[in-house]
Amino acid sequence: MLGAAQVIPQDSLVYYTGLANGQKEISYKYDKTKTLLVDFAKQKLSLYSADKRPVAVGGYKTANTFPVKLHADGKWTEYYDNGIPRKEYHYTSGPDKKSYLSGEYIEYHPNGEHAVKGSYTIAAYAWVDSTIVIDPKTGEALVTPKLTLRYHSIPNGNWTYYNTDGNPASKKEFD
């Protein structure tokens, strides 16, 4: 899956202006094999290969940060070189306003048949950050733990794995 949020340094981008409907075409000067088309009106990102085939298409939203971060949002589709969908998945905002896989997830074989069907959910987990300060006089370490709540995407429910002919091969249930 493509990263849910990525900051690209401004000096590494080349902008092509003059596209219709509030769109900008952006190329990363260190990887000229792909072009990113940003449709600001529809909040849609489209990543294309050098020969203009779609690599991935999906929605985004912006975070109120500087530099601006684009967070994946809504349905995303990745494609094989032959144009057949490779993966379809959804991003949504978690309680911490970051993007997480959530909802239906599908992978396809190169022939277009299903490979995997399942779903993701956002789950919280506890994280302990500790600060350690050494007293220079006594050499004693003072540890101050801080408990924080973090989030991640986890598989949930029934997942089905398919043979290349589209017939179910196995199933797994996630709690």
Tens of pLDDT, residues 32-84: 677 878 787 888 888 888 888 899 999 988 766 556 667 889 999 999 999 99
pTM (two decimals): 0.74
E strand residue ranges, the chain: 5-6, 13-16, 23-28, 31-39, 44-49, 54-63, 69-79, 85-93, 99-101, 103-108, 114-134, 141-162, 168-174
What is the Cα gyration radius of the chain?
A: 21
Q: Is the pLDDT of residue 90 over 60?
A: yes
Q: Is the pLDDT of residue 168 over 80?
A: yes
Confidence band (pLDDT; 50, 70, 90) for 105?
Answer: very high
The whole-number average pLDDT for the span 132-138 is 90
Separation of alpha carbons 150 and 147, rounded Å: 10
**3-12 per-position pLDDT tens digit:** 444 444 444 4
Q: Is the pLDDT of residue 88 over 90?
A: yes
Amino acid 9: pLDDT? 43
* Average pLDDT over the chain, rounded to an integer: 83
Amino acid 36: pLDDT? 79
Amino acid 170: pLDDT? 97
For residue 11, give every residue at least 6 positions away whose Cβ sits within 8 Å of its Cβ, in sequence order, or none.
Answer: none
Amino acid 38: pLDDT? 78
Cis peptide before 145 (omega within 30 of 0): no
**15-33 per-position pLDDT tens digit:** 444 445 555 556 555 566 7
